Every structure is written in C-alpha cells, then in structure tokens.
C-alpha cells in the first residue's frame, strides 16, 4: 500500500488495478499516509489557504427526478421556493458585507427561470460587485444556454457526473436522463472557458469499488478545476429512503486520492461530509480539501432545500457564522481566504 501511495504521489496516476487495490484494501495507516501526502500537495500549490464561498440555493424546484434527491419532481411532500433575482442579489449583498468575494448559485433545473433571467442575475452581480467570482450549478443545459451565462459573466460551473459508470447512472436516474448528456455538458462547459467542477456521491446505492475507480479515471482524464464529492445521505421521501449512508472515512480517503490525482483542483469539504460526521469538515480539510461553502441562502428557506435528511444549515455551515468558521480553520493551522478563489492556473 505504501508503494501505491508513493507512486500515486509521484506520478499523479495509477493503473485501474492499482486504484482498485488502493480502495479495496484501505486501512487506517494508508489513510493517514494519503492524507499527509494530500495536505503536502495542497500546500505546494495553495499554501495553507482555505477558500470560503457563499452558497445560495436559489430554487428547490426541479424538473428532474433523480432517485437520490429530495428535490426530485415526484417529491410532493417538499414545500418549494424560488428566489427572485432581487432576493438573490440581496443575499450577495449580505455575503459581500460579510467579506465573501465568491458566490455559488445552486438549484434544481427549474423551468420557472428562463435562461435569460438567470443571465440577468449573473450580470447584475458582476455589475454591482465586479471583484467577485460567480459559480453556477443549475444542471444540464444546452450549449447555447451555457454560452449565454458565460457571456453574462459566470466564471465557474459545478456539475457532478454522479457516476462514471453508464449502467450505474441508469440505476440512479430515470430514463429521460442520460450519462452521455451529462458528459456532453461537462465538455461544453470546459470548451466555453468555465472553470468546471465534476464529482460524485460516495456510497450511492449500487456503487462499488469498480464504480468509484471509474469516477477517479474520469476525473483524471477530464482534469476538472474543481471536484465535489460528499457522502450519499438518504432522503425520506425518495425511492432511496431506506438505503445506507455513505461513509465519512471513505469520502476523506477519496478526497486525498483526488488531491493527488488532480493536485491543483479546488476541492470542498462538503456540508454532506459534515452532516454524517461531527468532525467532517476538519477531517476533510486535513485530507486535502481546500474549500468551504457555508450557506448564504435566506434563513427562512434553508430547511426547504432538503436534498437529503438532516442537512446542516446552522452553526458553522451558516454564512453569518463565518467568523467562527474562520476560527475553526485557523485552529487547524490553515488560513481562511475570502477572495475569488480561482484555480491556480487561472490567476
Ligand atoms: N440540480 C443540480 C445538479 O443536479 O447538478 C444542482 C443541485 S443538486 C441538489 C447538487 C448535488 O447534490 C448533486 O450533484 C448531488 O450529487 C447532490 N445530492 C443530491 N441528492 C443527494 C443525497 N441524497 N445525498 C448526498 N448528495 C446529494
Ligand atoms: Fe434536480 Fe439536481 Fe436533485 Fe437531480 S440532483 S433532482 S437535477 S436538484
């Protein structure tokens, strides 16, 4: 195992069989070694900085029906909300006053906004606060829509592939969604000049070592600017309500591997990780993550963005508590950074 870790750190790649072995035979000693190598590698590119981004969950409506997600259209139990452009701008204003210079606008694929209305929100943010970066995460769209948003000033786009195994993709999504389109989106986004993030849930139903390795291989091939991974957490009103929760330990182990595969990537310690483990954020940051995204949505709607059960949106997950979050980051020997947080090649 030590040799595998050394090889991964030196060459930024392993063969398929080696990755399978590294994951299948994982143990605590290997996890510690991987985390140390990953933290060293992060330090080499980004110093001790941890980037803080304000996450605005702008709509809980979604036209899709992903089996794992509480926002799926068939979930009639969820009370839905949609922020107006003015409300989104107001949240950015609050975030700006708190010091945030990087905003992430995430939501379901909501037909209630036209592509043009989202473009208007992005350009309004850029007009008012030109020193900020805007990340969109609004699902699968046409190349033209992605171009419109990019022209409006969007800097980045998050779209997890969810799984790089076509058959597994088919068990997580209904037939009106396809793996091909997901991948088409990722390549369109990259060609349009976005900083692009992909990623997957750890422990999603039907995921085994083979599926994880395919995701890692996709990440290595695609060379994303950002990688988001977090544990799968069941949501009570979805078809996967009775499934098991993804493991924090495996998530952090994979965070370290991903840091070594794509060393310059921006990698968040996600809210999902912190939801499944009380020390999830600290563990993720020690394992090679370098981003935190506290919740900057209006307080009154936070509970309604119920993608999974018991999702945290208070305490250090809340943007208003950013000073306490900074304190935690410092206590880990790291430096909170509220700047734009660009990928190192784009600075
Ligand atoms: N609709 C956009 C999309 O699907 O890309 C963005 C919003 S979606 C809620 C953001 C991410 O939440 C998804 O990429 C998925 O990985 C994650 N997610 C959804 N349901 C989840 C669950 N039950 N547990 C953990 N993560 C989940
Ligand atoms: Fe919609 Fe995204 Fe949830 Fe799928 S994961 S149902 S696209 S919000």
- Confidence category of residue 156, pLDDT binned at 50, 70, 90: very high
Find the range with the poorest average confidence among 127-131, 264-268, 342-346.
342-346
Q: For the chain, which domains are there? A: 2-341 (3.20.20.70)
The 10 Å Cβ neighbour count of residue 300 is 8
Tokens of 328: 């935690």
pLDDT at 58: 98
From the CA of 161, the nearest ligand is: 1
Could you read off the pLDDT of 205-226 as tens digits, one per residue?
Answer: 999 999 999 999 999 999 999 9
Report pLDDT for 74.
98
Pocket test for ligand 2, best of 58, 64, 177 (most atoms within 8 A of CB): 64
Task: Indicate the average pLDDT of the chain.
Answer: 97
CA-closest candidate to residue 343, choices 285, 268, 266, 270: 266
Q: Alpha-carbon distance 312 to 68, whole Å?
A: 18
* C-beta of 71 in contact with ligand 1 (< 6 A): yes
Give the confidence band of 316 by pLDDT, cuts at 50, 70, 90: confident
pLDDT value of position 346:
83
pLDDT over 90 at 231, yes or no: yes
Ligand nearest to the CA of 71: 2
Residue 66 Cα to ligand 2 midpoint, Å, equals 6
Neighbours of 2 (CB within 10 A): 9
Phi/psi at 162 (5° precision): 75, -40
pLDDT band at 310 (very low <50, low <70, confident <90, very high): confident
Give the pLDDT mean for 36-40.
98
For residue 328, pLDDT beyond 80: yes
Which pLDDT tens digit goes with each residue over 103-141? 999 999 999 999 999 999 999 999 999 999 999 999 999
Task: Collect all residues with Cβ–Cβ distance below 8 Å to 122 and sequence separation of at least 6.
Answer: 105, 134, 136, 149, 152, 153, 154
Predicted pLDDT at 290: 98
Buried b (16+ CB within 10 A) or exposed e, 178-199: ebeebbebbebbbebebbbbbb
Residue with CA at minimum distance from ligand 1 atom 14: 160
State the pLDDT confidence band at 276, using cuts at 50, 70 and 90: very high
Instruction: Give the other-Cβ count within 10 Å of 93's Cβ.
Output: 13
C-beta of residue 116 within 8 angstroms of C-beta of residue 152: no
Atom of ligand 2 lying closest to residue 107 CA: 8
> Which long-range contacts does 132-135 make (Cβ < 8 Å, 24+ apart)?
132/92, 132/96, 132/100, 132/101, 132/102, 132/103, 132/340, 133/101, 133/102, 133/103, 133/340, 133/341, 133/342, 134/103, 134/105, 135/53, 135/102, 135/103, 135/104, 135/105, 135/195, 135/197
Asked if residue 159 has its Cβ within 6 Å of ligand 2, the reply is no
Where residue 326 falls among pLDDT bands split at 50, 70, 90? very high
Residue 108 in contact with ligand 2 by CB distance below 6 A = yes
Cβ–ligand 1 contact at 343 (below 6 Å): no
Residue 312's pLDDT is what?
A: 85
- pLDDT, one tens digit per residue, over 75-113 is 999 999 999 999 999 999 999 999 999 999 999 999 999
Measured from the alpha carbon of residue 162, the closest ligand is 1
Question: Terminal CA-to-CA distance of the chain, rounded, Å?
Answer: 36
Rounded to 5°, the CA angle 92-97-103 comes to 35
Report the nearest-CA residue for atom 6 of ligand 2: 72
- Given a contact cutoff of 8 angstroms between Cβ atoms, the answer to whether 328 and 284 are in contact is no
Determine the pLDDT at residue 61.
Answer: 98
Q: What is the whole-number distance in angstroms between the Cα of residue 82 and the centre of ligand 2?
A: 15
* % the chain with pLDDT above 90: 95
pLDDT value for 218: 98
Q: Say whether pLDDT at 347 is over 80.
A: no
């Amino acid at each position: 195992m030590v040799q595998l870790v050394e090889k991964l750190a030196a060459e930024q790649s392993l063969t398929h069989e080696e990755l399978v072995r590294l994951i299948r035979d994982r143990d605590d000693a290997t996890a510690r070694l991987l985390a140390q190598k990953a933290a060293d590698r992060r330090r080499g590119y980004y110093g001790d900085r941890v980037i803080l981004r304000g996450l605005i969950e702008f709509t809980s409506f979604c036209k899709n029906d992903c089996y794992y997600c509480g926002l799926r259209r068939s979930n009639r139990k969820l009370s839905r909300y949609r922020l107006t452009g003015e409300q989104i701008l107001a949240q950015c204003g609050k975030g700006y006053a708190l010091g945030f210079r990087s905003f992430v606008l995430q939501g379901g694929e909501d037909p209630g906004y036209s592509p043009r209305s989202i473009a208007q929100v992005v350009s309004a943010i850029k007009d008012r606060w030109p020193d900020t970066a805007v990340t969109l995460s609004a699902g699968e769209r046409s190349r033209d829509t992605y171009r419109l948003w990019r022209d409006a000033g969007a800097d980045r786009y998050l779209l997890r592939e969810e799984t790089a195994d076509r058959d597994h993709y088919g068990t997580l999504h209904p037939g009106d969604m396809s793996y091909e389109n997901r991948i088409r989106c990722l390549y369109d986004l990259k060609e349009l000049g976005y900083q692009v993030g992909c990623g997957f849930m750890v422990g999603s139903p039907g995921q085994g070592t083979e599926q994880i390795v395919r995701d890692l291989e996709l990440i290595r091939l695609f060379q994303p600017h950002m990688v988001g991974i977090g544990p799968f957490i069941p949501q009570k009103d979805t078809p996967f309500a009775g499934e098991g929760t993804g493991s924090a330990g495996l998530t952090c182990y994979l965070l370290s591997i991903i840091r070594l595969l794509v060393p310059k990537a921006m990698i968040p310690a996600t809210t999902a990780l912190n939801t499944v483990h009380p020390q999830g954020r600290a563990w993720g940051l020690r394992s090679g993550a370098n981003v935190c995204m506290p919740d900057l949505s209006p307080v009154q709607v936070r509970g309604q963005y119920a993608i999974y059960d018991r999702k945290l949106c208070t305490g250090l997950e809340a943007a208003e508590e950013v000073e306490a979050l900074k304190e935690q980051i410092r206590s880990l020997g790291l430096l909170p950074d509220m700047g734009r947080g660009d990928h190192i090649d784009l600075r």
